[in-house]
Amino acid sequence: MERSIGSLIDATERREDGASEALFEALYHELHRLAKRELVRHGFPVSISATTLLHQAYLEMAARGGTSFPDEARFMAYTARVMRGLIIDHARNRLAQKRGGRFELTAIASDIAENAVDGQELARIGEALDELAKAEPALAEVVDLKFFCGFSFAEVAAMRGISERTVQRMWQKARIYLHRSISSGLSP
């Protein structure tokens, strides 16, 4: 029997062995499923923002999880990291497609072409974030929420119960770290 997201969050907070990995897996699976469903439902051409997806995910999982389900802020804290993984995988996937791994139709070419940050760069940012999370997990979390999930400073501040100014500073600091990391990674 699979464990519910709610119980996995509890287990993670109790630092049970393997709980956080299981939680990541479960959330990833759930987000992926939801994304596909939403995309199919709304048709083509369409995309879905991470923020929308997360809100949707919270509403659904909370409805299933019942009264014991964690509040939205706590939920987002765990899910933001997962969202990062999903987005990076998604971008990598697109990269593979652009290189001609699969069918390519003119109808979808424009859909693929745009977008500023490419998959490789995102992946490097992801790796740097993992490093940062070891040193200052709070900073990494702010980046996940702000950059990968698309929440505003005000929203992140409300979630963490700190001032917007503090969030902004954390974000700036993290950004310096990340840029340093990926730049030094580029030039040996």
Partner 1 sequence: MFNSQSWQEVSPYLDRALAMPEEQREAWLVSLGGENPALADLLRSLLQEHDVLSRERFLEETPPPISAAQALTGQMIGAYALVAPLGRGGMGSVWLAARTDGRFERRAAVKFLNIAIAGLGGEERFKREGAILARLAHPHIAQLLDAGVTSSGQPYLIIEYVEGDDIVRYCDAHRLEVGARLRLFLDVLAALAHAHTNLVVHRDIKPSNVLVTVDGRVKLLDFGIAKLLAQESGSGTPTQLTRDGGGALTPLFAAPEQVTGGPVTTATDVYGCGLLLYELLTGQHPAGPGPHSPLDLVKVIVETEPPHMSETVRPAAAGAETVHARAAGRAATPDRLGRMLRGDLDTIVAKALKKNPQERYASAAAMADDLRRYLAHEPIGARPDTLAYRTAKFVRRNRTAVVLTGLAVLAIAAGIIGVLVQARTVRAQRDFAFRALGRAQAVDQFNVFLLSDAAPSGKPFTVNELLARAEHILNLQRTKNDANRVELLATIGIQYSIAEQDTQARRVLEEAYSLSKGVWEPTVRADAACNLASQLARSGEFARAESLFQEGLHELPNAPQYSIARFNCLRRGSEIAQELGNERQGIARLEEARRVLAQSPFQSDWDHMLTFLNLGEAYRMAGQNDKAIAEFEKADALISSTGRQETQSAAVILNDWALALQQLGRPLEAERLLRRSIDIHRADQTEDAVPPTVLGNYALILRMLGRLDAAADYVERSSAKARRTQDQVALYHALYTGASIYFDRHDFVRAGAALRELEPIMLHAFPPGSDWLAALASQQALLAWGTGHPEQALRLADQGVASVETEMKVKGQGDYLLPTLLLRRATILLGTGRPAQAAADASRALAVLQARAQPNAFSSYLGDAWLALGRALQSQEKAEEARAAFHAAVSHFQHTLGPDNPRTLDALQLADGELHHR
Q: Which residues bind partner 1 (CB under 8 A)?
A: 33-37, 39-50, 53, 86-87, 90-91, 93-94, 97, 102-103, 105, 107-108, 111-112, 114-117, 122, 125, 128, 131, 134-136, 143, 147-148, 150, 169, 172-173, 175-181, 184-185
Q: What angle do CA 174, 130, 125 make, to 5 degrees?
A: 65
DSSP-derived secondary structure letter, 69? S
Nearest-approach distance from CB 37 to partner 1, in angstroms: 4
Nearest-approach distance from CB 60 to partner 1, in angstroms: 11
Q: Rounded to whole angstroms, how far apart are CA atoms 8 and 20?
A: 7
Q: Rounded to whole angstroms, how far apart are CA atoms 54 and 182?
A: 27
Smaller CB separation from partner 1, 17 or 114: 114
Nearest-approach distance from CB 9 to partner 1, in angstroms: 23
Q: Are 30 and 5 in contact (CB under 8 A)?
A: yes
